[in-house]
Structure 1
Amino acid sequence: MYPQSLRDLTLEMSNLYSVQNKDKPLNLNMEELLVFYGVLLTSGYCTVPRRHLLWSLDDDVHNNCISNAMRRNRFDEIMASIHVVDNTKCNNDPFFKVRPIFQELNSSYKILPFSKWLSVDESMIPYYGRHGYKQFIKGKPIRYGYKVWSLASSGGYLYHMEPYAGVHTLLPETGLGQGPSVVLGLAEQAGVPGGCNFAHDNLFTTLSLIDEMTKRGYGCTGTLRQNRLFAVPFKPMGEFQKLQRGSTEVLSEGEKLLVRWRDNSVVTVASNVEDVYSEVPVKRWNKERKAYDYLQQPHIIHSYNQQMGGVDLHDLQVSRYHSTIRSKKWWWPIYAWTLHSAVVNSWLFHRDVMNGDYDLLGFQRVVAQSLLKKFGTAPKGHGRPSSMLAAVTDIHRK
């Protein structure tokens, strides 16, 4: 998932950056780069307040696997010079510094065939520093950071990602609005074959998008905002909200099926996947009776709820054991996030295709320890001992 071409590019550009900006050759080799990745992955589940404590000899923080693989000062040198581009060839792309990472990973992620159902949503990479395209999204778990348009399977496997950069976003413009352009652009750039079904929320869904997806041979299911219904002859919202829980309203036009359902709130879903309306039983908690009510839920909404959360699931897995090593460089959060995204995709491939029995933590530990033990070089000696190692006598203690 993290291809050889990207590792070779990182090796070349890091050595070049060190010569250009520090007047000192870094002499980074592939073994050291792989150990560097191993340290980043290890820091995701062996967390310390400061990264230098990973090399400390104190009993409470000592990490034998890391300290026997690479010296602390050497890690700092690599950390200061790690790059994937030549800074002398800068262009107008706001994400120029990390663009090769997205290109290489989008290519390598296609090793797994596209699933029947695909989820389109935005991913947020946490970042609290200064950058022209840092986003703020109110009410989200991650409010500040870089927004990435993502295409994933319903199981959380990421197929394609594109960072949002306003007018500089590398997605084709369709004239249908931002949301539809993202869905159609991701489908086009990722090379999604016809017959796949897309699930997305009300940020992306419009009636014109469903018509266009039908022309291109894709299925499309998504929630709709009230102000995008236009001339759809539904009941007024205020009148529909007064109906009892479980009430539905169904309309069909051509290959589009529009369903409005009264749950805790009113939800409207449009789809070209199902042309026949059907229902499934569900239970909802009744606060007044303090018991469950059994209602009939439209099957199209039930299907949407099952298939929609793929991107959020991928983000959740990435955040579980994310590297705690930080940098002041604006692009470092993207660099670390993409590394862990490749780990999550590798784990899903190992679990679903190769029938592996590791959970994500076990898989990441195996990968990190393999890199550190196979490619690491044990130091000949340790540096100055920590003052914490000095025994405290009873005289000093009292």
Structure 2
Amino acid sequence: MPRVSDKEIAAYLEELEGSEDGLDDSSSECEDEVSYYANAREVIADLEEQDDETEQVDSGENDAEHDDREDRDPPLVNEEPEGLAVSMSDNDFNKFLGVLIYTSVIKYPSTRLYWSNKYGYEPIKKTMPQKSQELSRDNPSRDKLYKIRPVIDTLNDRFSQIPLDQSLSIDEQMCATKMSHYIKQYLPNKPHKWGFKLYLLCSLLGYAHKFEIYTGSNGQNIPDHNEPDLGEAGNTVVRLARIVPRRVGHIITFDNFYTSLPLVTYLAKEGIFSLGTVRINRLRNCKLPDKKALMKRNIPRGFYEENVANVDGIDVSAVVWKDNKPVNLLSTYVGAEPATTVTRFDKTKKERVPISCPKVVREYNAHMGGVDLLDSFIGRYHITMKSRKWTMRLFYHLLDLSVINAWIMYKKVQIQTDCDMAKLNLCNFRLDLAESLCRVGIPANGPKRGRPSSNLPVELDLKRYRSNAQTTPAKDIRLDQTAHWAVWLEKQQRSTIVDG
């Protein structure tokens, strides 16, 4: 409705006063008691009072409605603030881990098929219902991994309790995923190019003693007060090497992404030997021949050259070796001599020929490869459950990493104790581990739920499944009316009991 101005109200009242009826005529009869306004202000004041009364009536109705709601039954599901996780006991969490390990071996195209009534996997269906579980959340801080930081710290603490072997290697690993997240990396030279990058310290057997998830150059990787600043890659090696005992002969091997002259000299001062391939531009005033000179035809395959220098009281050996391409290596404990021979295929002679190989190359090939071996173990059986949460994807990868570490320790104990029992391969080890976790806290005969069933068909089915007889075909196959004729025998056969 259009709003009436004060002037229009005043003109309307003047018109009423000048009418024939007369507003002041007391002889006029009215059935209802009516009040008249002297001016426009009284009309506006009366309208405002009516609005106040209407609001009071509405508020009273709302209060009554609120009281009625309080008297009603509570909702079936309690509404919790968004972000709170579902609470679970230790047994429930163990079952959750067991289900995840089952899925790494028994692979279905969809996660929901594990709980399907027709095609579902019984050990998983009996363990827990189809219900999503989430990790608890804490208040965010400067740490980008604060949501899973307790898991990372706990696993690193457990992994580092195992005594370290003499030969260790440091390399990066990819947790493959293409989900959108700011810490996701792209490494074109890796088999899985997209994912979260991890730095690992591994033994020759593939056991991960310590790991670190890369979150970017954001100032968090600042070294301690007694550690030098060696750059992003060098500081990563220094942090991973904190758990390595000093001056007991440990050797750390890494590739050219980490190797630098300040890094190897610092590790040598700490009592840790190091070896790694190196980029030639990181060796200042190096007199080794460059790639252009080595790739000439007059230089034979197998040519090598070594330069030794003393840097801050540490003897450092730099070696270049020509294979298919030149390879540069830097070491603080081994050099080129004594050289050995290896065989390579010669395209001109169409046969394998022996060439010279420096000792430092043999050492590098023998000690570098623990992380790659761990990657091959994870690639055989890994958790394939999909999730939109980056925390769950990293949690699945860390769970696979923990299972591989447990399997490596199992094999190591079997060798040290000379156990006569057959060793479990990775597949059987995962299945046994998943079964053990799923049956935690459950009686041997299975859980009893509800009253005993009085349904005869159900009892017959259960009895049939307990027997070792051949399973009954599906209903569609039994009733297809094809090739189910009786076979008549010439002589009746009876079952015999062999005395034994």
**TM-score normalised over the length of structure 2:** 0.67
> For residues 111-169 of structure 1, what are the alpha-carbon distances to aligned partners after superposition, in whole Å with 9 as ceiling and x for unaligned?
32111011011111112111111111112111111111111112211011111112347
Q: Does 1:340 align with 2:400?
A: yes
Contact 1:94 1:168 in 2 (8 A): no
Unpaired segments of 5 or more residues in structure 2? 1-78, 451-473, 482-500
Matched residue, 1:3 = none
Q: Which amino acid aligns with 1:285?
A: F
Q: In structure 2, how many angstroms separate the alpha carbons of the residues matched to 1:320 and 1:367?
A: 16
> For residues 351-391 of structure 1, what are the alpha-carbon distances to aligned partners after superposition, in whole Å with 9 as ceiling and x for unaligned?
1134372221121111011122344565859xxxxxxx873
Distance 1:47 1:375, change over 3 A: farther
Equivalent pairs counted in the alignment come to 360
Q: Does 1:140 align with 2:140?
A: no
Contact 2:252 2:274 in 1 (8 A): yes
- Offset of residue 27 of structure 1: 5.0
Distance 1:46 1:379, change over 3 A: farther
Matched residue, 2:454 = none
Contact 1:65 1:373 in 2 (8 A): no
TM alignment of 1:129-208, pairs within 5 A: 129-168=179-218, 171-173=221-223, 174-188=228-242, 190-194=243-247, 195-208=249-262
Correspondent of 2:368 among 299, 302, 308: 308
For the residue of structure 2 that corresponds to 1:175, the secondary structure is coil
Matched residue, 2:124 = 66
- Offset of residue 236 of structure 1: 3.4
Matched residue, 2:476 = 391
Identity %: 27
Matched residue, 1:108 = 158
Correspondent of 1:44 among 104, 113, 117: 104
Q: In structure 1, how many angstroms separate the alpha carbons of the residues matched to 2:284 and 2:327?
A: 16
Q: In structure 1, how many angstroms separate the alpha carbons of the residues matched to 2:425 and 2:214?
A: 31
Q: Which runs of 4+ in 1 moved over 6 A?
A: 392-395
Q: Does 1:290 align with 2:350?
A: yes
Distance 1:26 1:252, change over 3 A: closer
- Offset of residue 32 of structure 1: 1.7
For the residue of structure 2 that corresponds to 1:296, the secondary structure is strand
Matched residue, 2:319 = 259
Distance 1:394 1:100, change over 3 A: same
For the residue of structure 2 that corresponds to 1:303, the secondary structure is helix
Q: Which amino acid aligns with 1:103?
A: D
Q: Does 1:93 align with 2:143?
A: yes
Q: Does 1:82 align with 2:158?
A: no
Distance 1:27 1:231, change over 3 A: closer
Matched residue, 1:365 = 431
Matched residue, 2:411 = 351
Distance 1:303 1:169, change over 3 A: farther
Q: In structure 2, how many angstroms separate the alpha carbons of the residues matched to 1:42 and 1:302?
A: 40
Q: In structure 1, how many angstroms separate the alpha carbons of the residues matched to 2:251 and 2:80?
A: 49
Q: Which amino acid aligns with 1:391?
A: D
- Offset of residue 226 of structure 1: 2.2
Q: Which amino acid aligns with 2:476?
A: A
Q: Which amino acid aligns with 1:219?
A: F
Contact 1:19 1:26 in 2 (8 A): no
For the residue of structure 2 that corresponds to 1:350, the secondary structure is helix
Contact 1:69 1:375 in 2 (8 A): no
Matched residue, 1:12 = none
Q: Which amino acid aligns with 1:203?
A: F
Q: In structure 2, how many angstroms separate the alpha carbons of the residues matched to 1:22 and 1:175?
A: 39
Contact 2:246 2:270 in 1 (8 A): no
For the residue of structure 2 that corresponds to 1:259, the secondary structure is strand
Cα RMSD of the aligned pairs, angstroms, is 2.4
Matched residue, 1:30 = 90
Matched residue, 2:277 = 223
Q: In structure 1, how many angstroms separate the alpha carbons of the residues matched to 2:83 and 2:162?
A: 41
Instruction: Report which of the two structures shows the higher radius of gyration computed on alpha carbons.
Output: 2
For the residue of structure 1 that corresponds to 2:400, the secondary structure is helix
Contact 1:199 1:304 in 2 (8 A): yes
Distance 1:359 1:38, change over 3 A: same
Q: Which amino acid aligns with 2:127?
A: A
- Offset of residue 335 of structure 1: 0.3
> For residues 68-103 of structure 1, what are the alpha-carbon distances to aligned partners after superposition, in whole Å with 9 as ceiling and x for unaligned?
22222xxx2xx2x421x433x221211111111110
For the residue of structure 1 that corresponds to 2:439, the secondary structure is helix
Q: In structure 2, how many angstroms separate the alpha carbons of the residues matched to 1:171 and 1:336?
A: 25
Matched residue, 1:21 = 82
Contact 1:38 1:367 in 2 (8 A): yes
For the residue of structure 2 that corresponds to 1:353, the secondary structure is helix
Distance 1:309 1:172, change over 3 A: farther
For the residue of structure 1 that corresponds to 2:182, the secondary structure is coil
Distance 1:129 1:227, change over 3 A: same
**TM-score normalised over the length of structure 1:** 0.84
Q: Does 1:235 align with 2:289?
A: yes
Q: In structure 2, how many angstroms separate the alpha carbons of the residues matched to 1:333 and 1:153?
A: 25
Matched residue, 1:5 = none
For the residue of structure 2 that corresponds to 1:183, the secondary structure is helix
Q: In structure 2, how many angstroms separate the alpha carbons of the residues matched to 1:276 and 1:223?
A: 14
For the residue of structure 2 that corresponds to 1:349, the secondary structure is helix
Matched residue, 2:265 = 211
Distance 1:130 1:110, change over 3 A: same
Q: In structure 2, how many angstroms separate the alpha carbons of the residues matched to 1:364 and 1:177?
A: 40
Q: Which has the higher contact order (CA 8 A, sep 6+)?
A: 1
Task: Give the stretch that moved more between structures: 368-377 or 314-323.
Answer: 368-377
> For residues 177-214 of structure 1, what are the alpha-carbon distances to aligned partners after superposition, in whole Å with 9 as ceiling and x for unaligned?
222211112112x3443321110000000112111111
